[in-house]
Amino acid sequence: MKNNKKEIQDELEELAPLLSKLKKEEGFSFPDDYFNQLPEQILNQIDFSKNKKVKETISAAATITWVDQLIEQLASFFRPKIAMGFSMMVMLGIACISIFNGLNEVDISVVDLTSNDLEDYVKTNIDDFEIQELLNVLGDEEEISWTKIKMNDEDLDGYIDEIIDDIDATELEDFL
Amino acid sequence: MVNDHEDANDVVQNTFIKVFKSIKKFKGNSQLYTWLYRIATNETLTFLNKKKRKATTSIDDDELGMRHKLSADSYFDEKKAQLKLQNAIKLLPEKQRLVFNMRYFEEMSYREISGILETSVGGLKASYHHAVKKIEQFLNEQTDV
C-alpha cells in the first residue's frame, strides 16, 4: 500500500488541489485500553454452548466413522474372494500347527519312554520282531550265564516247550 | 464510515463475531486481509442501513446531526482541523465514502479495493473521482465562508 502513496498523491493533486494540500490525519483516537478489553467483549457475545454442540457432533461423527470402519473391515471377510483366501490361510495355519505339534509329540514320547514302556510295546507287538533280532538285543543288553541258572528238569522241559511253541514250523524244520 | 466511537465499537465487535463464526468458510481464494476487510465493510454497511431504517428524521436533518455528532464526539480531535474534511466525507453517498476512505486514508490500489468491494476498477475510479470533486467543492465553499 505504501507503493500506492505517490500515485494516489499525484492523482489527488490533479483532481483536488486544495484537498491534496491538507495534512492527512483521520483525527480519530480510541479509549485507553480499548484493544485489551475488546477480546473479552467479543467473547462475551459468542454463544459457546453452540460450539459445545458442534464439538459433540464432531465427536459423535468420529465415533460413527470408527464403528463404520470396523464393520466394513469385518464385512470384507465375507466377500467371496477375500473369504476364500482367508479360509485357505486358516486351513494352512491349522495344518502347520498340527504338523509342528505332531513332531513335538514324537520327540516328547521318545524322551519320556521308560524301559517298562518299551518292554510292554515289545510284548504287545512281539509278532513284528524277528527272533534273531530279539536274541541279538538280549545278548547285547545282558549276557545270560546259562551255567549260573539253576533249573530242574521240569523247568528246563517247560522252557524248551515255550521256545518250541514260539518258533515257527518252518524255522523248526530248518533247525532240525 | 460510522458516526461516532460507539457505532465504530459496535461494528468492530460485530465484525470479529462474524469472522469467528465464518472462519470455516474462508477457502483462501483471496488474501485473509481482503476477506476480513470485506466482512468489516459489509458489517459497516449493514449497520448503517439498520440505523437509516430506524431514523425518522429527514436526510438534511440527519446530515446536520452527523456533523454535530462529530463535533460532540470526545474521541475526535476537533483541533486537528480535520473536522471540515470529515464533515465533507459524511455528506458523501455510502459507496463513494467507502471508496474515498480506502483510497485516501488506507492508500489502497484500485485493484485491492476491487477485491474487497467486488466492483470493477473503472467503477471505483469513477466513484473516487466524484467523491474527491465533491469534497474539494465543499472545502472551497467552507473556505469562502
Higher pLDDT, B139 or A166: B139
Q: Is the pLDDT of residue A46 over 90?
A: no
Mean pLDDT of B67-93: 69
Q: Is the pLDDT of residue B105 over 50?
A: yes
pLDDT tens-digit readout, B117-127: 999 999 999 99
Q: pTM of the predicted model, to two decimals?
A: 0.51
Q: Are A82 and A76 in contact (CB under 8 A)?
A: yes
C-alpha cell at A48: 459457546
Do A1 and B82 count as a contact with CB atoms less than 8 A apart? no
Q: Which residues pair with A28 in a beta bridge?
A: B76
Task: Give the residue carrying C-alpha cell 547285547.
Answer: A140
For residue B132, the chain A residues in CB contact (below 8 A) are 12, 15-16, 19
User: Angle, nearest 10°, between helix axes B32-54 and B5-22?
Assistant: 130
Nearest to A42 by CA among B11, B75, B34, B49: B11
Residue of B12, B21, B136 lying closest to A18 (CB–CB): B136
Q: Is the pLDDT of residue A19 over 50?
A: yes
Best residue of B4, B7, B10, B12 to probe chain A, by most A CBs closer than 10 Å: B12
For residue A31, the chain B residues in CB contact (below 8 A) are 5, 75
Higher pLDDT, A5 or A57: A5
Task: Give the residue carrying C-alpha cell 460510522.
Answer: B2
pLDDT tens-digit readout, A121-165: 777 777 777 776 766 665 554 555 555 566 677 777 777 777 767
Q: Are A8 and B100 in contact (CB under 8 A)?
A: no
Higher pLDDT, A29 or A70: A29
Do B103 and A8 count as a contact with CB atoms less than 8 A apart? yes
For residue B43, the chain A residues in CB contact (below 8 A) are none
Higher pLDDT, A4 or A17: A17
Task: Select, from the ranges A57-61, B22-26, B133-137, the one with the highest average predicted confidence (pLDDT).
Answer: B133-137
Distances (CA, A) of B56 to A17, B52, B59, B93: 38, 8, 9, 19
Q: Are B90 and B66 in contact (CB under 8 A)?
A: yes
Q: Is A75 an 8 Å CB contact of chain B?
A: no
Mean pLDDT of B47-57: 76
Give B7's contacts (C-beta < 8 A, 6+ positions apart). Answer: B47, B51
Mean pLDDT of B92-120: 92
Q: Is B103 an 8 Å CB contact of chain A?
A: yes
Instruction: State the Rg of chain B over Cα.
Output: 16
Q: Is the pLDDT of residue B96 over 90?
A: yes
* pLDDT, position B60: 47
For residue A18, the chain B residues in CB contact (below 8 A) are 136, 139-140, 143
Q: Is the pLDDT of residue A105 over 80?
A: no
pLDDT band at B26 (very low <50, low <70, confident <90, very high): confident
Task: Note which residues in 29-88 of chain B have CB less than 8 A from chain A.
Answer: 75-78, 80-83, 85-86
User: Mean pLDDT for chain A?
Assistant: 70
**ipTM exceeding 0.85?**
no
pLDDT band at A36 (very low <50, low <70, confident <90, very high): confident
